[in-house]
Amino acid sequence: MKALLSAIKAQLQTDLTYIRDADIFITEDERLIPEAIKFPAVGLKDGEITYEIETQNQETHELFVKIIAYVEIRKPEAAIMGWTFPEYEYKGALDIVADCVTSLKNNTLSGQADVALPVGETEAELLADENFAIVMKTVTMRYVRYLTE
């Protein structure tokens, strides 16, 4: 899982050029955002791992990773839908999740997996305290590794 998370992080840092590299991070909890993060941001959270023995020499590992888009609420609808200025496009949570799926779907990350597919998305959720209000939306990716002895 460690190598997979590192590979996903590097891939998203390459593809999501509108997000600072430092704002793509591995998190201990979906609702825990480091203080130094600027928005928009993307968090990666390790998920479930399942093992299946198909034959004596064929083993399958399924690894699930949550990719969480975080967008600060600045004006109505924009955190979800994004908005465009004449010189700048501000991506919303729906755009960021779609870009993550485009970057990661069928991307085996230089051999980290044999299969890479999105399996579901959550609805957008509000994450707020007295200092900020953020929309977060999650897509779960499923990575499959086929191991033979």
What does the pLDDT look like over 13-42, one tens digit per residue? 999 999 999 999 999 999 999 999 999 999
Residue 93: CATH number of its domain: 3.30.2000.10
pLDDT of residue 88: 83
pLDDT of residue 68: 98
**In contact, 41 and 70? CB cutoff 8 Å:** yes
Number of domains observed in the structure of the chain: 1
Q: Identify the domain containing residue 29 by its residue range.
A: 2-148
Average pLDDT per 10 consecutive residues for the chain, totaling 149 residues: 98 97 97 94 98 85 98 91 86 97 98 96 93 94 90
pLDDT of residue 36: 94
Q: Amino acid identity of 28?
A: E
DSSP assigned state of 93: H
In the chain, alpha helices (H): 2-15, 78-81, 93-104
How far is it, in rounded angstroms, from Cα 71 to Cα 134? 5
What does the pLDDT look like over 41-50, one tens digit per residue?
A: 999 999 999 9
How far is it, in rounded angstroms, from Cα 39 to Cα 19? 8
